[in-house]
Structure 1
């Protein structure tokens, strides 16, 4: 569909002002919004699409997922097929293409692919997927790829520890994220950036789903964190840290790392540090409700049973303190396409529906430095527009039923289709 497109609906949400306007008329030309509720007559040549009794929202954003794992063929409630040695890079990339379409249909038009943790021979599969989507070869969200997660040998995002592989079974290189010591982490960051990563992911502490260190254990020294942050920032990219443990979170904040993923065991002091430093938090809170921990290894289940209740208690404190919280699911820990369940969980933890919407729009846009072109419905912004039934500013669960998706002015999903 070309030319001017006019979207009409019952309502639209100004997520910045926190207001719902009725009715809604949004004029799109090319890739951008050119008018919202215009006073001037509409062009006679415009294609008018009446979406009916729905609410228009900016395209939603998921700031932590991995499109290259999970998806087709995986058991419901478990983040697999995940780290097996059976899938080659080509097959994984095709799986990622399916997950990308599923994510877009769910109304998420922008995502961060946070850290490959599979053997690829040094290829950055998320960068390849991003390029294919950007060039229009395949439908999917706008991807901010991190390449391979930077992790120490035996660290949480070392692919060999998810299945307790014996030594020598899966040799990995700096190019694939395994980096020990300051020279290695610098080389690893440079490799990811050289081959297209738009941010860096670092494994800062242990985790729940890996057979390695305890969830709270800090995995890099302060000097290594500082080297990672310095190298990335000099290259003009931000750093996101998988950090569950409190001391690891504090070390990341001191090093100038931009974003904490999970933050489950953060103390009140650490929450205040995030506020004081302007550090973002991607809390991935829904997975603590949804993950099928009764179906994982007993030692992993024991970790989850200890960590998840503490994570649920931490987040309301972070919300009340004013931490900048961006929506992220850690999909496929939450199945691809069910990303909006994170918004429902954020409201259950203490956000208002509008705060939850902002976490997936304006706050996420600030995190990836696109708040001048994404995250709101306004003239001059990219035409990423979705439609949901009801009023999500009152009932956030409306975001679970996305009926219309436009990205960059192109319609990918509509009731008519």
Structure 2
């Protein structure tokens, strides 16, 4: 009897050991690993749990317990990263009045649909750069716990502005409703307010800080490019964020406000419309990333041509600033500024993030570099390049695929047919 028990235990152990070795195999016809600019052919990606365990030449024959995913007619690449999204909104002519008709729960539930659409279009990681009511923080937690479907979120929470600045939530409302928002609401005046606002975002669960260093396009305020923070305020924000392990992303259109922020040590400039050669040289010196958001600029310029689409204060800014961003991108790319892919989705329709690839390649960036900007460069900006951003043994299994070859037809980036995040398949 004892011998039989020992035999049964041994057989159970062998069976358990065999099942533990079962893996998911992806047969990739072409592979952009994002470890470099090379395109590999006929590779097998081996996935154990949520991690990539190996990349092998040729097509490994699956074992009886293995799962095989046949992507031999596809180009396989890391999950895409969008460094500038806003799930709490999607712009329309009624967006300025939504705060009077929608509750926090309404924003969050709508945002969940935008998050799912973004993941299914191939974006497995995003930076959420500014919202209200901690919507992005709530979505981040719900996605991480598996309650809803969406990309991995790095959330900034409420953007930080100055009084009347681009992210002051009371711009454009009647005087009786303006009140006097402060650091808790993301509005600061002076270094002490700046420190308090950063600490408030940390308290609320933000992963990074977003500030609006200049005027903006879609806010109901006159200037779209004037500087809106003092040097003292900027240094207080950056130093406090560093104390809490957070990077600072900066909305900026105008040159002066942009350069103040770069000198203060921020991680990235978003939009960057009026940067010039001196600004670009400063960015190279400081190692500052540029997140272009060409898609949002083109959308704003197109909508400015529709009478009544924007409020009177907004449409001139949309017409002039929006149309310039693509040319700025061309100059920044030629100047050697570090570039990370970002779209400002939420200004335009979520799920169309991929169109940024078209605009980047139109502006002179080779397709392979555009894809790298949305993979390994995004991971470097986030500081997670050891875990994400490329297909390499030991990294998290965020993998997508498109049919054909996006390096010869960039439109294929809009045809994502396979999405895996952390080893789980969401689209096949």
Q: TM-score, normalised by structure 1?
A: 0.92
CA distance in 2, matches of 1:48, 1:356: 29
Instruction: State which of 145, 161, 182 in structure 2 corresponds to 1:135.
Output: 145
The match for 2:24 is 5
The separation in 1 between residues aligned to 2:217 and 2:408, in whole angstroms, is 34
What is the aligned partner in structure 1 of residue 55 from structure 2?
Answer: 36
SS of residue matched to 1:214: coil
Among 385, 389, 394, the residue aligned to 1:371: 385
Moved more, 307-316 or 389-398: 307-316
Q: Deviations over 1:329-372 (max 9, x none)?
A: 11112210000111111111110001100110011000001111
1:58 to 61, 72, 78: 78
Classify 1:155/1:81 alpha carbon distance in 2 versus 1 (closer, same or farther; 3 Å). Answer: closer
Whole-angstrom distance in 1 between the partners of 2:342 and 2:97? 19
Q: For the structure 1 residues 38 and 312, does the alpha-carbon distance in structure 2 shift closer, same or farther, using more than 3 Å as the test?
A: closer
Structure 1 Cα separation of the partners of residues 401 and 192 of structure 2: 48
In structure 1, what is the equivalent of residue 371 of structure 2? 357
If each structure's helix is expressed as a fraction of its own residues, which one has the higher value? 2
Query: Is it true that 1:97 corresponds to 2:116 in the alignment?
Result: no
Q: Is 1:67 aligned to residue 87 of structure 2?
A: yes
Once the two structures are TM-superposed, the CA of residue 308 in structure 1 deviates from its matched residue by: 2.8
Aligned equivalent of 2:418, options 395, 398, 404: 404
Residue 337 of structure 1 is matched in structure 2 by 351
C-alpha separation in 2, matches of 1:17 and 1:225: 35
Contact 1:326 1:363 in 2 (8 A): yes
Q: TM-score, normalised by structure 2?
A: 0.89
Aligned match of 1:46: 66
Answering whether residue 126 of structure 2 is matched by residue 107 of structure 1, we say no
Q: Select which of 342, 348, 355 maps to 1:328.
A: 342
Task: State how many pairs are aligned.
Answer: 401
Aligned partners of 2:311 and 2:185: how far apart in 1? 26
Mapped partners of 2:96, 2:45: distance in 1 = 41
Match of 1:166 in 2: 174
Aligned equivalent of 1:393: 407
Distance 1:312-1:41 versus aligned 2 partners, 3 A rule = closer
Q: Which residue of 1 aligns with 2:6?
A: none
Question: Per the alignment, in what secondary structure is the counterpart of residue 286 of structure 1?
Answer: helix
Alignment of 1:175 onto 2:184:
yes
TM-superposed deviation, 1:183:
1.1
2 CA distance for matches of 1:80 and 1:98?
Answer: 17
Contact 1:79–1:335 (CA under 8 A) maintained in structure 2: no
Q: Point out the structure with max Rg over C-alpha.
A: 2
Matched residues in 2 for 1:381 and 1:82: separation? 44
Change in Cα spacing, 1:147 to 1:38, as seen in structure 2 (3 Å) is same
Structure 1, unaligned stretches of length 5 or more? none
Q: How far apart, CA to CA, are the structure 1 residues paired with 2:295 and 2:312? A: 21
For the aligned residues, what is the CA RMSD? Answer: 1.9
Query: 15-24 or 132-141, which moves further after superposition?
Result: 15-24
Q: Secondary structure at the match of 2:257?
A: helix
1:156–1:213 contact (8 Å) kept in structure 2: no
Rate the CA distance shift 1:369–1:83 in 2: closer, same or farther, 3 A: farther
